[in-house]
Homo-oligomer: A and B are copies of this chain.
Amino acid sequence: MAIQKSASASATGPRLPLAGLRVVDLTSAVVGPYCTQVLADYGAEVIKVEEKSGDVIRWISGKSRTPGMSGKFMHMNRNKRSISLDLKQASGREALMQLVDTADVFLHNMRTAAAERLGLGSEQLTQRCPRLVYCGIVGFGSGGRYAGRPAYDSILQGGTALASLMSGADGAPRYVPYVVIDRTAGLMVAHAILAALFARERDGEGRTIEVPMFESYAGLLLSEHLYGHSFEPPTGPLGDRRLLDANARPVRTRDGYVCITTNTDAQVHKLFHALGRADLAADARFATALARIEHIAAFFALRAELLASRDTAELVDLLLAHDIPCMPCHTLDSLVADPHLQDVGLLETGSHPTQGQIRHIRPAMQMSGFEPSVRLPAPHIGEHTAAILSELGYTPAQIEALFSDGAAYTAPDAPPHPPQPT
């Protein structure tokens, strides 16, 4: 697919799809910042509002070169500015209100009662700003008995049954080895905000959104595994056997593992042919998709037997030559060195003003007229506090007063951003 990078806008630079939108982001950790990473990459102006202590991901995601600048934090917070305000002080809250008045989108992941205590509840803000798209990310929806409980990704991996589906031979539950629910919910928040912005463009009205992580993700997982219980009375058990079978895993080869999936009858027959066992296509247990589901254990056992005596590289070449979906298993080390990822430049080295050489992860998606890029380095805590207050019309003396009261803050090692004349 040939995608024009800058279409008709070559003279003025690429048109970012969300250019001109301002997002005031009170979220921290992963679910909210990942959502606003998406919005920022699309060109929205995201202003991250942090406490003096900063987003927790600054601190719990490995060693940084200077305090509070972990790699994971920088990946999720590039293209954002940071203002640090003490919302326990009236003058800090007032500055935030001035900022919200300029916003198209406001989002937070506080508990609802905490947001309301700070004057940041949905009714409070949308009465003040009727065009605002207001979004609260909560662990559990306001309509159910767990409303208000704290939640983290790992809590929800247990609570949505994902950890129990991950149990191995020992029956002990496990977590998926990354914060999959935070990431999934973050993407759901992004589409909710984008749908609301689209609708506002047509009718001029703001929207209030609540994304409850527990039931949002439970709905996704149940759509995979409700299975026979999608019917009343059920037509079969809970749980998609094709995904949960102990042999639904990469297949052992002579020297490693290969991933291979054959969903269609044609693919299965090509597989038998490629492995020199075209005769198996006549076996009624394997001839059709429905039959293979009935005989899934026998099918997986046969596949394991057929692949065990071959080398991975040879198998991948052979199967790809027959257009059968397959790939060797990467480790993190080999993934970083993958030649396709190098071709597309997924990882690119750039210079951060205070962190030196760092590796950016580019958005992989391509859109005509839009060149995703790192326009702004990830900020230090409150790096842009003075600059943003100045833009809001605060005088140098007023800004100085906020700083001396502790209602505004900038980390001492942040590079300076002289306020713009107003």
Among residues of B, the one whose C-beta sits closest to the C-beta of A357 is B232
Q: How many chain copies does the complex carry?
A: 2
Name the B residues within 8 Å of A165 (CB-CB).
177-178, 332
Chain A window 152-189, contacts with chain B (Cβ cutoff 8 Å), 1 for yes, 0 for no: 11111111111111101100111111111001100110
Residue A102 interfacial (CB < 8 Å): no
A390 interface residue per 8 A CB criterion = no
Most buried by B among A56, A188, A324: A188
Chain A: how many interface residues by the 8 Å CB criterion?
173
- CB-based nearest B residue for A333: B238
Interface of A, secondary structure class, is: mixed
Given contacts A161-B332, A219-B346, 12 further A-B contacts (CB under 8 A): A1-B122, A3-B210, A15-B203, A60-B293, A151-B327, A177-B243, A179-B224, A184-B184, A188-B365, A211-B365, A222-B361, A233-B357
Q: List 14 A-B contacts (CB under 8 A).
A: A1-B210, A61-B240, A64-B231, A74-B230, A75-B223, A150-B323, A154-B259, A154-B261, A155-B259, A158-B328, A161-B334, A215-B364, A216-B364, A231-B358
In chain A, positions 324-344 with a C-beta closer than 8 Å to chain B are: 324-336, 338-341, 343-344
B-side contacts of A166, CB under 8 Å: 176-177
> Is the pair B56, A212 in contact by a Cβ cutoff of 8 Å?
no
A130 CA / B15 CA spacing, docked (Å): 17
A163-B249 contact given A121-B1, A293-B60, A364-B212, CB 8 Å threshold: yes
Cβ of A4 within 8 Å of any chain B Cβ, yes or no, is yes
Nearest opposing residue in chain B for A345, CB measure: B143
